[in-house]
Structure 1
Amino acid sequence: MNFSGSYRSGDVSFLLKPLVMQDFVDVEQKEKLIQSGKRHYSEMLSPESLPSARYLDVFRQACDANLARMARDCLALAGLITARRSGAITLVSLARAGTPVGVVLKHLLARVMQREVAHYSVSIIRDRGIDQVALEHILAQGHAPESIVFVDGWTGKGVISRELEAAIEEFNARRGTCIDGGLYVLSDLAGTAACAASCDDYLIPSSILNATVSGLVSRSILNDAIGPNDFHGCVYYEQFEAQDQSQRFADELVDLAMAMAPLQGEPAPMDKALAASVSRAYMQAALATHGITDVNMVKPGIGEATRVLLRRSPRLLIVRERDSVDVAHLVLLAQEKNIPVLVDPALPYHAVSLIRSALDG
C-alpha cells in the first residue's frame, strides 16, 4: 500500500506499510534491548508525544531564524539535481527526515526547473539497508533507474549515506540496473553525500519535530509484522492531525523558495574533503575523551543531537554556545529531561549528543 500521510496526494507517496501498534516499548527498555544486542532498533518503536507549548515556541523561533536558509538550500539542491539528471526525475526521499525536503524539491523541480518529477518516500535502516520491495515498486511504475535521486535532510557521521551506497551497489548487481546510490542533502556534515547545498551545521527547522512535520508518519519499522513482499512498516499518528505542521511547513518553504528563484545564483562549491576530515577527527577525539567504544553512541550535529534528545536515552548534550538560537530547543529538551549540558567553544558543530550506556543503570 502507498499513501501520502498528511500531505496532499500529489506531493509524496510513502512506500510504507501502516501498522497498528499496541506494543510500544518505552525508551529505557528499548535502549537496553538495542545495546545488549537482543533487538535491532528497527524492530521497536517508542510512543511519540506532542511537543509542549514551550517547545513549539522554540520551533517557531527556529523557523523565523532559518526557514529562509532552508528554502534557499532547497532551491540550490533542486538546481544541482537538475544539472545532474536529464529527462524525468524520480525523487526517493529517505523517511522520515528526507520527506519534507523531497516534498519541497518536487514543487521546485516542477515549477522552477520545468521538469517532470515524481516523489516517493522509502525506508532505509542502519545495518538492514534500503527497502528493496519499495525500490522494485518504483521501477515497476515505469521510472527509469537512472532517473532516481535519493534525498535526505543531512548527514551526521555518514552512516546512512554509506548504507545507501552499499545497498544500491548490491541491488544493481542483482538486478542489472544502474541506479545512482549517491545521497543528496541540504547539509553534509560528514562529507559523504554525493551532492549537498551546504556543509554547515545549521538548524534545519524540520529536524526539531518528529511526526508532526513529516506527514504524521513514524520512524520506519522492520519486524515480524513485515512479510517478504511488504514495504517496511510505520505508524500513522492520526491522533495528532489537529496539531500537524507538515503541509503548512512545506508550503511555506515552497513559497519562500519560489520568491527567491529569480535571484538565485550558483551555489558555493562544497569542501567535502574538509568536512570528512573534521568529522573523522572529532569522532576520534570524542570517543577518547568520553570513554566510548561504540561510534553509534556519539551523534554529531544539530539534527542528530535532536533525534537523541527526542527518542533515545541521552547521557550528555554538548553545545558550542549555550545561548545560540540554533540550540535553544536542545537546551530546553535537556532541561526537561534533566540531562547535563556541557559548553565546548572548540566544538566543530553547534551540538553533539551522547547516548547513555544501558550499563550505567
Structure 2
Amino acid sequence: MSTEVLASRIASPKPLGSYNSEDVIFLLKDLSEIHLEKGTEDREEAIQAGTHYSEMLPVEYQPTQEYIHLFHETLAVTARKVAFAAAVTAEQIAAKRGHNIMLASLARAGTPIGILLKRYFKAIYQHTLPHYSISIIRGKGIDENAVIYMLNQHPGYEIQFVDGWTGKGAIRKVLTDATQTILAKYGIPLNDDLAVLADPGQCSSTFGTREDFLIPSACLNSTVSGLMSRTVLRDDLIGPHDFHGAKFYKEWLSDDLSNHFIDTVSAYFQEVAGEAQLVANQLLNDSSKTEETWKGLNDIKRIQLDFGIPDLNLVKPGVGETTRVLLRRVPWKILIDRWDNPNLRHILLLAADRNVPVEVYPNLTYSCCGIIKPLKGGGE
C-alpha cells in the first residue's frame, strides 16, 4: 500500500496542548477523558511484573511551592545557558541538513526543545520550520502514522528528530531501529540523527553540550511540556490509523509554565547566536568532539555490577532521568558525582521530600543517577 493511501486514512490532528499551534502541532490522539493514571507503587509493581509502561500513566506530581520557586530560580540562572545550547544545536542542524527540514520532537521531553529550535531558526534565519511532536516508545517503536502524515504534508522535506537529552541512549537505539523498519516497510529512507540539547551519554553527534546540566524543563512534568501527558499505546485505545495517544491536562492551565519557559529562553537567541555559530563550527570541523562513544552506557553497566541491579532499565542516568525517577517511580537510591554540584539542587530537594538516600559515586560520567527499587524485574 502506498504512503499516499495510508496518509489518506490517518485522521487529521486535533488541537492539543497549551502551546501556540505556530510553535508545534501534536500528532497524538486525545485520550483526555479516559482514566489511565495509576499510583506510583501500583504502577511500579505493574511495570516490573511485565506491563508495558506505555499502557498506563503516572499520577502527575504536584510540586510544592518551594519546588516551584526553585524552578523559577533555576530558569533565571540557566536561561542563557539553555538558549546557547539550543543555538549550538540549531546551527549544527542548519550546517548539516540545510533549511529544507521539518522538526519531529519526541514527546514529551523533546517538545519544548523542538519549539526552541523552531524559534531560533525563525529569529536568526527568518525561516519557519514545520514542527510536530510525535510519540516514540521503547519496546514498541515510533509512531509510523505520524511519520507518514508529516512526509505527506511536506513533500520533499527531510525529518530532523529532536529530544531533550540522552541518558543510556535507549531512545536513540529505538529511533535507529525505527528508521530501518520504515525503510523496509515503506521504502522511505530517514536520517536517524537525533538532535538533543544535552548529550551526557555521548550517543548523539548533534548536541548543544555534553555537560549533564539541569535543563529547567526537566524539573516539571506536564506543566512545562504543554500540559501533555506521556504518550500511551494500547490496542483497545489506539486503532491502526490512529496516532499514539496522550492526555491534555486542561485543568492545570492556571499552573502552566510551558510558554513562560520558552519565552524566557528564546529572549537570549539574538545575544548568543554569534558565539553559538563559532562553537557549532568547531564541533563540525573536529569529529573527535562529536564522536558517539556511548561512554555513559559503560558507566551504567559498572553501576549495575557494583549494586547488583538485576535489570539495566532500573538504572536511570543523568539529571533529566533522575528527576523522572523521583517524580514518578519508586526510587531506591540516588548516586551523585559530588555534593557541591550546582545542577543537583532540585534532585536533593526531591530526594529529601521522598526520603530517598543519596550517596557520592566516584568517577561518574553524569551529574547523578537514579536507581529504581528492584521488585520483580522489567522496566521503563
- Take 1:220 and 1:31, find their aligned partners in 2: how far apart are those partners? 17
Alignment match of 1:342 (pick from 359, 362, 373): 359
User: Pairwise mapping of residues 152-171 of structure 1 onto structure 2 (< 5 A)?
Assistant: 152-171=163-182
Q: Is the counterpart of residue 276 in structure 1 residue 268 in structure 2?
A: no
C-alpha contact (below 8 Å) 1:3/1:15 kept by paired residues:
no
The equivalent of 2:141 in structure 1 is 129
Following the alignment from structure 2 to structure 1, what is the Cα–Cα distance between the partners of residues 347 and 187? 45
Task: Provide the residue aligned with 1:94 in structure 2.
Answer: 106
Structure 1 residue aligned with 2:261: 249
Q: CA–CA distance in 2 between the matches of 1:100 and 1:65?
A: 18
Q: Following the alignment from structure 2 to structure 1, what is the Cα–Cα distance between the partners of residues 94 and 262? A: 20
Q: Could you tell me which of 73, 94, 97 is aligned with 1:82? A: 94
Kept in 1, the 8 Å contact 2:206–2:290? The answer is no
Mapped pair 1:71 → 2:88: no
Per the alignment, in what secondary structure is the counterpart of residue 197 of structure 1?
strand
Q: Kindly report the root-mean-square deviation, in angstroms, between the aligned alpha carbons of the 2 structures.
A: 1.7
Identity, % of aligned positions: 38
Q: Using the TM superposition, name which of 209-218 and 196-205 deviates more.
A: 196-205
Q: How does 1:75-224 map to 2 (within 5 A)?
A: 75-144=87-156, 147-223=158-234, 224=236
Gapped regions of structure 1 (runs ≥ 5): none
Deviations along 1:123-160, one digit per CA (max 9) or x if unpaired, are 00001011011111111213435x21000011100000
Which stretch of structure 1 is more off in the superposition, 53-62 or 299-308?
53-62
Q: Is the 8 A contact 1:88 1:115 kept in 2?
A: no
Total equivalences in the alignment: 357
SS of residue in 1 equivalent to 2:130: strand
Which string of whole-angstrom CA distances, capped at 9 and with x for unpartnered residues, describes residues 168-194 of structure 1?
111022211222111111111222224
For residues 305-354 of structure 1, what are the alpha-carbon distances to aligned partners after superposition, in whole Å with 9 as ceiling and x for unaligned? Answer: 11111111111011122343311111111111111111234322111000
1:243-283 deviation line (CA, Å, top 9, x unaligned): 10001110111111123224544224363447523x13312
- Name the residue aligned to 1:330: 347
Partner amino acid, structure 2, of 1:333: L
Q: Secondary structure at the match of 1:196?
A: strand
The worse-fitting range, judged by mean Cα deviation, of 341-350 and 184-193 is: 341-350
In the alignment, the residues of structure 1 paired with residue 205 and residue 274 of structure 2 have an alpha-carbon distance, to the nearest angstrom, of 26
Between 124-133 and 114-123, report the one with greater CA deviation: 114-123
Distance 2:22 2:291 in 1: 38
- Distance, in Å, in 2 between the alignment partners of 1:264 and 1:355 is 37
CA displacement 1:51-107 (0-9 Å, x = unmatched): 110111221222133221110011111111111123422000000111001111111
Give the 3-state SS of the residue equivalent to 1:239 in structure 2: helix
Give the stretch that moved more between structures: 151-160 or 322-331.
322-331
Aligned mates of 1:229, 1:34 — CA distance in 2: 27
CA contact (8 A) 1:214 1:246 kept: yes
Q: Within 2, Cα distance between the matches of 1:173 and 1:194?
A: 25
What's the counterpart of residue 7 of structure 1? Answer: 19
TM-score (norm 2): 0.90
**Higher relative contact order, chain-length normalized (CA < 8 Å, sep 6+):** 2
Task: Kindly state the Cα deviation for residue 50 of structure 1 after the two structures are TM-superposed.
Answer: 2.5
CA contact (8 A) 1:82 1:113 kept: no
- Scaled by the length of structure 1, what TM-score is found? 0.94
Match of 1:30 in 2: 43
Amino acid paired to 2:39: D
Does the C-alpha gap of structure 1 residues 76 and 109 become closer, same or farther in structure 2, counting only changes over 3 Å? same
SS of the residue 1:121 aligns to: strand
SS of the residue aligned with 1:90?
A: strand
Q: Is the 8 A contact 2:351 2:357 kept in 1?
A: yes
C-alpha distance in 2 between matches for 1:142 and 1:115: 15
Is the CA contact 1:123–1:232 (under 8 Å) kept in the aligned structure 2?
Answer: yes
Q: What one-letter code is carried by the residue in structure 1 that aligns with 2:37?
A: F
Answer whether contact 2:205 2:292 (CA < 8 A) is retained.
no
Q: Mapping of 1:57-68 within 5 angstroms?
A: 57-68=69-80
Structure 2: gaps (5+ residues): 1-12
**Do the aligned residues in 2 keep the contact of 1:89 with 1:115 (CA within 8 Å)?**
no
Letter in 1 for 2:179: I
Letter in 2 for 1:302: V
Matched, 1:53 2:72: no
Residue 337 (structure 2) aligns with: 320
- 1:32 maps to amino acid: E
